[in-house]
Amino acid sequence: MKIINNINDLDFFVREAAEKYQKTAFIPTMGALHAGHLKLVEEGLRHADKAIVSIFVNPTQFAPHEDFDSYPRTVEEDIQKLEAVGAQALWLPCTEDIYPNGKEVDVRITGVSEPLEGEFRPHFFDGVATVVARLLRKVKPDIAMFGEKDFQQLQVVKKMVIQENIEIEIIGVPIVRDENGLALSSRNAYLNEAEFKTAIQLNIILKEMADGSIDEKGAHEKILEAGFDKIDYCTVRNAKNFKQENPDRVLVAAWIGKTRLIDNMPLSR
């Protein structure tokens, strides 16, 4: 696997693939890779000749009080995992590669970005839309893979590429879970043993909501009973616009101590 540390090497990789008419799949990540990220690479390679992954902990999507500094950084292990699944390249941009004029945010997506995550992390999607647009313009891939784990983000990115006129296909990949059903997340590394036991209840409660055994109020009660400290939202919404009309997906964000977990699934009733 080629490790790309500067824009010249990236340009070379991109040009070489284009000259050979090779289709490229791009997988943007913030690192601390787990089987969910690796699934994105594998799916990318099913659709394309080459997979290029980026690891960049994007400062503009973190609010000052959030976990930018403590976000896990495990590049050596990440490289080994990516080699094992056959990624062709890993790009490790530095902040100046992405933000040469300082950490400005210049892509804003309305509508789909506003409820749920948009309400509780108002800075978040502008930062995501800006960084993904910049990464895509540099890597120029044919397709890019995004996880349904961040379901609202996937819809925001789909809207962003249309708005920004970036020619690309955005492909969503189903959530990868551990044997308990817990959605894999780099932030699960923050959980201690007791918190982990609480965390694995979330998926069970979500399933009950999805099959109609409990309503939103019941789910809220169960999540708090399970040991979560705070619920940002736990609700059934439309999976395209996140409005309450025509609901078909359960989405949740809840806190255990300082760790914020998100999860979602389609209705099964």
Question: Does residue 186 touch ligand AMP according to CB under 6 A?
Answer: yes
Q: Is 182 in the site for ligand AMP (CB under 6 A)?
A: no
Nearer to ligand AMP, 181 or 247 (CB): 181
State the catalytic residue, choosing from 34, 37, 65, 123: 37
Q: Give the nearest distance from C-beta 36 to ligand AMP in angstroms.
A: 2
- Name, in order, each residue with C-beta under 8 angstroms of 73's C-beta and a sequence gap of 6 or more: 31, 32, 57
Instruction: Considering the complex, state which of residue 14 and residue 131 has its C-beta at the smaller distance from ligand AMP.
Output: 131
239 binds ligand AMP (CB under 6 A): no
Alpha-carbon gap, residue 1 to 83, rounded angstroms: 6
Q: For this structure, is 34 an active site residue?
A: no
At residue 218, what are phi and psi to the nearest 5 degrees? -60, -40
Phi first, then psi: give them for residue 30, nearest 5 degrees. -110, 15
Asked if 263 is part of the footprint of ligand AMP (rule: CB under 6 A), the reply reads no
CA–CA distance, 207 with 128 (Å, rounded to integer): 28
**Which range, of 173-181, 224-232, 235-243, 244-252, touches ligand AMP by CB under 6 A?**
173-181
Residue with Cβ nearer ligand AMP (184 or 220) = 184
If one counts every other C-beta atom within 10 angstroms of the C-beta of residue 120, the result is 12
Cβ neighbours for 165, distance < 8 A, ≥ 6 positions apart: none
Comparing CA positions, the residue from 186, 268, 263, 185 lying closest to residue 223 is 263
- When binding is defined by CB under 6 A, the residue of 30, 109, 133, 206 that contacts ligand AMP is 30
Q: Which amino acid is at 95?
A: T
Residue 127 sits in the site that holds ligand AMP (CB under 6 A):
no
Residue 128-147 contact track with ligand AMP, rule CB under 6 A, x = bound: ------------------xx
Q: Quick one: CA torsion of 252, 255, 258, 262, rounded to 10 degrees?
A: -20
Which residue has tokens 């506003």? 114
Active site residues: 37
Question: Residues in the site for ligand AMP, rule: CB under 6 A?
Answer: 29-30, 36-37, 39-40, 146-147, 149-150, 173, 175-176, 183-186
